């Protein structure tokens, strides 16, 4: 694990932060950005303490005091339900980078709209058997509702029948039902994304969109 420390929080009588991350998973530049963000928040009066949680991207982080007196972070394991807290912010940084990079390859960056993994979504009860054929639809976000719907392509499976649907957290949906949906959660209201064997197909307000040529998304898929 690599470590990056803040250095200006003590000027405001606040503990420094220690950001731990795996360099094989996350970028040092992203960790440095978060460190500067935390310093800025502290300089403007924000106060963080042991046991507190904070949202970064779609993830929540748990703060804990380290042996050296700094505040460290734990993140969800993104593998189990209920979640397990692991030391570091590797996956949180990776997901934030992934959400941002993928959105800006399809729509303008200002359209980025990342929900909390604690927010709810609606999934169809055949999603676990969808074999990667998934329809993602982002509707209006309301309070604890992310606006996301994840459904199957199964012919005759009526998504207008509430008996075929369930409401769960985004975290549970991604971890236990549809891991393939994770990279696309930052898209805004009005988006429909079709996931299948080839490239995803993107629609915004019923208009098909193209992937920027040569982009990460274009190369990776």
pLDDT in 10s for each residue of the chain, 221 residues: 999 999 999 999 999 999 999 999 999 999 999 999 999 999 999 999 999 999 999 999 999 999 999 999 999 999 999 999 999 999 999 999 999 999 999 999 999 999 999 999 999 999 988 888 999 999 999 989 999 999 998 888 999 999 999 999 999 999 999 999 999 999 999 999 999 988 999 999 999 998 876 544 544 44
What CA–CA distance (Å, rounded) separates 46 from 185?
28
Pair (136, 179) in one structural domain: yes
Check: CB of residue 47 under 8 Å from CB of residue 56: no
The pTM of this model reads 0.92
User: CB neighbours of 220 closer than 8 A, spacing ≥ 6?
Assistant: none
Is residue 176 in some structural domain? yes
Q: Given 98, 118, 148, which residue is the final one in a domain?
A: 98
Pair (151, 65) in one structural domain: no
Pair (78, 125) in one structural domain: no
Pair (61, 122) in one structural domain: no
**Residue 68 lies in domain:** 2-98
Half-sphere exposure of 56 (CA within 13 A, CB side): 27
Q: What is the dihedral of CA 187, 46, 62, 17, to 10 degrees?
A: 110
Q: And the tokens for 16?
A: 């420094």
What CA–CA distance (Å, rounded) separates 169 from 17?
29
* Cα-to-chain-centroid distance, residue 19: 18
Pair (140, 206) in one structural domain: yes
* Cα-to-chain-centroid distance, residue 169: 12
Is residue 202 in some structural domain? yes
Is residue 173 in some structural domain? yes
Pair (94, 39) in one structural domain: yes
Pair (86, 158) in one structural domain: no
Pair (150, 76) in one structural domain: no
Is residue 103 in some structural domain? no
Q: And the tokens for 166?
A: 């369930």
Is residue 145 in some structural domain? yes
Q: Given 74, 98, 122, which residue is the final one in a domain?
A: 98
Q: Given 79, 98, 117, which residue is the final one in a domain?
A: 98
Q: Please tell me the predicted confidence (pLDDT) of residue 132.
A: 82
Is residue 148 in some structural domain? yes
Pair (91, 112) in one structural domain: no
Nearest of 53, 45, 57, 93 to residue 73 by alpha carbon: 53
Is residue 211 in some structural domain? yes
Pair (114, 78) in one structural domain: no
DSSP string, the chain: -EEEE-SSGGGGT---BEEEE-TTTS-HHHHHHHHHHHHHHHHTT----TT-EEEETTEEEEEEE-TTS-EEEEEE-SSSSS--EEES-HHHHHHHHHHHHHHHTTS-GGG--PPPTTSEEEEETTGGGSTT-EEEEE---BTTEEEEEEEE--TT--TTSGGGEEEEEHHHIIIII-GGGGGGTT--TTEEEEESSSS-EEEETTEEE-PPTTSHHHHH-
Pair (11, 44) in one structural domain: yes
Is residue 53 in some structural domain? yes
* Number of domain units in the chain: 2
Pair (213, 125) in one structural domain: yes
């Amino acid at each position: 694990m690599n470590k990056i420390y803040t250095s200006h929080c003590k000027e405001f009588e606040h503990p420094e932060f220690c950001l731990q991350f795996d360099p094989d998973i996350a970028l040092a530049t992203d960790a440095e950005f978060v460190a500067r963000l935390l310093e800025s928040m502290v300089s403007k009066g924000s106060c963080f303490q042991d046991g507190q949680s904070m949202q970064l991207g779609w993830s929540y982080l748990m703060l804990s005091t380290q042996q050296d007196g700094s505040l460290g972070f734990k993140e969800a394991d993104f593998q189990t339900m209920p979640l397990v807290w692991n030391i570091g912010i590797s996956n949180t940084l990776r997901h934030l980078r992934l959400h941002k990079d993928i959105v800006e390859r399809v729509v303008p960056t200002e359209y980025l709209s990342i929900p909390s993994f604690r927010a709810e979504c609606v999934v169809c009860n055949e999603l676990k058997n969808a074999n990667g054929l998934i329809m993602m639809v982002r509707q209006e976000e309301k309070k604890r509702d992310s606006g996301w719907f994840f459904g199957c392509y199964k012919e005759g499976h009526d998504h207008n029948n509430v008996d075929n649907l369930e409401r769960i957290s985004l975290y549970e949906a991604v971890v236990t039902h549809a891991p393939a949906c994770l990279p696309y959660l930052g898209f805004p209201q009005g988006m429909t994304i079709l996931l299948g064997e080839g490239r995803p197909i993107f629609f915004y307000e019923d208009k098909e969109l193209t992937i920027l040529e040569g982009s990460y998304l274009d190369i990776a898929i």
